[in-house]
Structure 1
Amino acid sequence: MASVIHFCDSKGKSLLSRDFKGDIPSWAIEKFPFLLVESEEEPSKASPIIQFNGINYLYITHNNLYLLAMTKSSGMDTNVAQIFLFLHKIITVLTEYFKRLEEESIRDNFVIIYELLDEMMDFGYPQITETKMLKEYITQRSYQLEKRQKKAQELGPPSAITNAVSWRKEGITYKKNEAFLDVIESVNMLINQQGKVLRSEILGKIKVKSQLSGMPDLRLGLNDKIIHTDHNSNSGKNVEMEDVKFHQCVRLSKFETDKIITFIPPDGEFDLMTYRLSTSLKPLILVDCQIVTHSKSRVVITARIKSQIKKKSTANNVEILIPVPEDADSPKFQYSHGKIKYDPANSQIVWKLKHFPGGKEYAMQAELGLPSVLNTDPDVKVKRPIKVNFQIPYFTTSGIQVRYLKIQEPKLQYQSYPWVRYITQSGDDYTVRVD
Structure 2
Amino acid sequence: MLSMICKYLNISYVCTVKPGIVNVSEKIEKMLNGVFFSSLAGETLIQKQLLSSTVKWQPEVFAGWLKKCNVGPPKCAVHNGMHYIHIRSGKVYIVVVTDSSNASPFVIVDYLHRLSEILTDLLGTPTPESLLDNIGLVYELLSESTCAGFPKLTDTTKLKPFLSSTVIQPNKSDDLLSMLPDNLFGIAEKEKREIPSQSSKKPLLNNKIETQKNEVYIDLIETLSVIFDASGNLMLCNIIGKLNVKSYLSGDANMTISFNQPNGELSQAITHSSVNKSNLPQDIKMQVSPGNFHALSYNLSNIGESVSMPFTLYSSIMPYPQDKMLTLSLKIHCDLPVRHPAMNLVGKIAIPECAVSASGISSLVNITFNHDRKRSEYCFSCPLFPGNSHHTVTVKLILSSWTAAMVFELDKVLLQFEAPMMCHSEIKITDLKVKSVNTSSLQINKWVRYLTFANSYEFYLKDDWFPHTEMI
Q: What band does the TM-score fall into relative to the shorter chain?
A: 0.5 to 0.7
Could you tell me which of 301, 305, 318 is aligned with 2:328? Answer: 301
Corresponding residue for residue 409 of structure 1 = 436
Could you tell me which of 255, 278, 293 is aligned with 1:270? Answer: 293
Corresponding residue for residue 204 of structure 1 = 241
Corresponding residue for residue 420 of structure 1 = 448
Shift of 1:383: 4.7
Corresponding residue for residue 342 of structure 1 = 369
Spell out the pairing of 1:210-225 with structure 2 (5 A cutoff): 210-223=247-260, 225=261
Corresponding residue for residue 352 of structure 2 = 325
Q: Is the 1:396–1:423 contact (alpha carbons within 8 Å) kept by the matching residues of 2?
A: yes
Q: Is the 2:372–2:379 contact (alpha carbons within 8 Å) kept by the matching residues of 1?
A: no
**1:251 correspondence with 2:276:** yes
Max Rg structure: 1
Corresponding residue for residue 354 of structure 1 = 384
RMSD: 4.3
Any idea what SS the aligned residue of 1:338 has?
Answer: coil
Q: Is the 2:232–2:314 contact (alpha carbons within 8 Å) kept by the matching residues of 1?
A: yes
Alpha-carbon spacing, 1:67–1:337, altered in 2? closer, same or farther (3 Å): closer
Any idea what SS the aligned residue of 2:223 has?
Answer: strand
Shift of 1:314: 3.1
Corresponding residue for residue 313 of structure 2 = 287
Partners of 1:256 and 1:281 lie apart in 2 by: 24
Alpha-carbon spacing, 1:378–1:274, altered in 2? closer, same or farther (3 Å): closer
Partners of 1:6 and 1:423 lie apart in 2 by: 35
Partners of 1:379 and 1:93 lie apart in 2 by: 44
Alpha-carbon spacing, 1:340–1:310, altered in 2? closer, same or farther (3 Å): closer
Deviations 1:377-409 (A, max 9, x none): 167332553111222223222121111222222
Corresponding residue for residue 242 of structure 1 = 267
Alpha-carbon spacing, 1:202–1:407, altered in 2? closer, same or farther (3 Å): same
Q: Is the 1:333–1:340 contact (alpha carbons within 8 Å) kept by the matching residues of 2?
A: no
Partners of 2:214 and 2:351 lie apart in 1 by: 52
Partners of 1:333 and 1:316 lie apart in 2 by: 21
Partners of 2:213 and 2:415 lie apart in 1 by: 40
Any idea what SS the aligned residue of 1:344 has?
Answer: strand
Partners of 1:316 and 1:433 lie apart in 2 by: 23
Deviations 1:274-330 (A, max 9, x none): 111012355421122233331252111111112234566533332322232335345
Shift of 1:430: 1.5
Corresponding residue for residue 422 of structure 2 = 395
**1:132 correspondence with 2:157:** yes
Alpha-carbon spacing, 1:98–1:326, altered in 2? closer, same or farther (3 Å): farther
**Greater Cα shift, 242-251 or 331-340:** 331-340
Q: Is the 2:358–2:378 contact (alpha carbons within 8 Å) kept by the matching residues of 1?
A: no
Shift of 1:432: 1.3
Q: Is the 2:252–2:290 contact (alpha carbons within 8 Å) kept by the matching residues of 1?
A: no
Partners of 1:308 and 1:258 lie apart in 2 by: 27
Q: Is the 1:205–1:275 contact (alpha carbons within 8 Å) kept by the matching residues of 2?
A: yes
Any idea what SS the aligned residue of 2:235 has?
Answer: strand
Partners of 1:421 and 1:337 lie apart in 2 by: 28
TM-score (norm 2): 0.52
Any idea what SS the aligned residue of 2:425 has?
Answer: coil
Which amino acid in structure 1 is aligned with residue 443 of structure 2? Q
Corresponding residue for residue 7 of structure 1 = 25
Q: Is the 2:252–2:289 contact (alpha carbons within 8 Å) kept by the matching residues of 1?
A: no
Deviations 1:61-118 (A, max 9, x none): xx952779xxxxxxxxxxxxxxxxxxx9999889989969xxxx89x456x86xx8xx
Corresponding residue for residue 104 of structure 2 = 65
Alpha-carbon spacing, 1:131–1:338, altered in 2? closer, same or farther (3 Å): closer
Which amino acid in structure 1 is aligned with residue 25 of structure 2? F
Q: Is the 1:172–1:214 contact (alpha carbons within 8 Å) kept by the matching residues of 2?
A: no
Any idea what SS the aligned residue of 2:372 has?
Answer: helix
Partners of 2:103 and 2:229 lie apart in 1 by: 38
Any idea what SS the aligned residue of 2:250 has?
Answer: coil
Partners of 2:370 and 2:386 lie apart in 1 by: 22
Any idea what SS the aligned residue of 2:449 has?
Answer: strand
Partners of 1:344 and 1:258 lie apart in 2 by: 45
Any idea what SS the aligned residue of 1:7 has?
Answer: coil
Partners of 1:377 and 1:89 lie apart in 2 by: 45
Which amino acid in structure 1 is aligned with residue 433 of structure 2? K
Any idea what SS the aligned residue of 1:212 has?
Answer: coil
Corresponding residue for residue 395 of structure 2 = 366
Which amino acid in structure 2 is aligned with residue 403 of structure 1? T
Percent identity, aligned pairs only, is 21
Aligned residue pairs, count: 298
